[in-house]
Amino acid sequence: MIKIKTALISVYHKEGLEDLLFSLHNHDVQLISTGGTYEYINKLGYKAIKVEDISDFPAILGGRVKTLHPKIFGGILGRRDHLNDVNEMNKYGISAIDLVVVDLYPFESTLASGAFHQEIIEKIDIGGISLIRAAAKNFKDVVIIPSSSYYKTFTEIYNRKNGCTENADRYFFAGAAFNVSSHYDTAIFNYFNKENTHQSLKLSFCTGKALRYGENPHQKGFFWGNSDEIFTQLHGKEISYNNLLDLDAALNLIKEFSEPTFAILKHNNACGLASRENLSHAYTDALAGDPVSAYGGVLVTNRVLDETTALKINDLFFEIIAAPVYEKKSLEILKQKKNRVILQVHTAVYSKQIVKSALNGLLVQDADHKTECVHDFRNVTDKAPDAKQMEDLVFANIAVKHTKSNAIVLVKNKQLIASGTGQTSRVDALKQAILKAKENGFDLYGAVMASDAFFPFPDCVEIAHKEGINAVVQPGGSINDKATITYCNENNIAMVVTGNRHFKH
């Protein structure tokens, strides 16, 4: 146990600091501070020594240099059980510092605010980060509070142990300190490396949680990130690893639509999707797309979930429902099942990159945020799609973009009537979709087809045409495009190409 006698405090965020200062004052701790923190301490009625009075050197360069001095860092780094260190501290009049409290300049929030370059640069903390590392390195003798988020934790431990800390406490806070400093440096590096000038990948998340398990019960699972930015859980059991994967797919799909739309997903693929004038009809038609697969699925919509729709979906067993807003009555209905997860979705910025483990490293790519609209479609056949077909082609192209490759989707009247997902051949994906559509009672005449990649041969459009499908959207780019286009022209099929493949694995 080590009793804290002297504390150096230099923080940006003062919220929560008052309770800590009160405890330190009650245990007769000598306070050292500088700048705004010194003024804050004085306003609370506590006495403090200025850093400048210890170093006998003023803050210079507009405050860029304040604590960087041997009398400060010697007091932190000096080893109390090391005779040479003790002798040198005595020789140069260096007093030991037992506690260091730091809260760094807010680099990340300044960056996120859209501030100008020079303002961002000025929020790179130098003295604070150095204090954190120094105190953490000498955790055997010094305790470090590395950010405002640890004020409360330390205060509780400190009060419970009557103004002292144990080695285990100091070790814990040292770990927290290097977590804070490494995350801070990662954010700065990534700012300077926006153009990937340096072939180095640095990822850092300071928030996360252990999940019940991973993809399967014998696998451990974790989520790193702040899901509270994306949604608020209003009801239900703990969200699982697989739930989060489905939810990610669902939210990325639903944000593509502006009309009232309802989607049902299983294993990251939409098994139901429809856009209608009102949400109740959208849900009914989404469910009709594949009512068997909908069992145990993830439901998502882009509109207020009303009572009428809630009554309908309450009859279905599902894992999660996600919506931007819920009517009070609809929540009461949905909460009847205790394990049903109900999420209120916030407007949020989703990941700009996709990171996957591969071999002994990571694969990183930009997220697929390219979504084609009517103006991106290029008609390549004699027959052009009519207005109704064009609506369905846009809808189908969105749906296939969010379906696992090889993927084919069939759409009619802005309703997903079937999809072929994750097949090793495009023909098999189409056959799977046709079989599904027929099993669920859909008439394929007048439907449209979308493919996530080009047709290597005309076989898919031939099979689709024989089922009554008369409009197609695909990326194009095959050496056999001409043969496919020729078949379409000979059989009065309209086909547009987008120029963009949408593989999803």
Cβ-based neighbour number of residue 484 at 10 Å: 27
- CA–CA distance, 408 with 414 (Å, rounded to integer): 15
* Buried b / exposed e along 94-127 (16+ C-beta atoms within 10 A): bbbbbbbbbbbbebbebbeeeeeeeebebbbbeb
Place of tokens 């999420």: 343
- CA–CA distance, 465 with 251 (Å, rounded to integer): 33
- CA–CA distance, 9 with 37 (Å, rounded to integer): 7
H or E stretch at 86: helix 83-91
User: 281 Cβ partners below 8 Å, 6+ apart?
Assistant: 274
* Buried b / exposed e along 44-75 (16+ C-beta atoms within 10 A): eebebbebbebbeeebeeeeeebbbbebbbbb
Residue 98 falls in which region: left (phi positive, over 0), alpha (psi -120 to 50) or beta: alpha
Q: Classify residue 163 as exposed, middle or buried by CB count within 10 Å of its CB (0-12, 13-18, 19+).
A: middle
- CA–CA distance, 175 with 88 (Å, rounded to integer): 28
- CA–CA distance, 394 with 115 (Å, rounded to integer): 37
Tokens describing residue 236 = 């239900």
Q: Using an 8 Å Cβ cutoff, are 76 and 138 in contact?
A: yes
Annotated catalytic residue: which of 235, 267, 281, 335? 267
Annotated catalytic residue: which of 137, 202, 281, 383? 137
Q: Is 137 a catalytic residue?
A: yes
Task: For residue 495, list its beta bridge partners.
Answer: 472
Q: Is 117 a catalytic residue?
A: no
Active site members: 137, 267
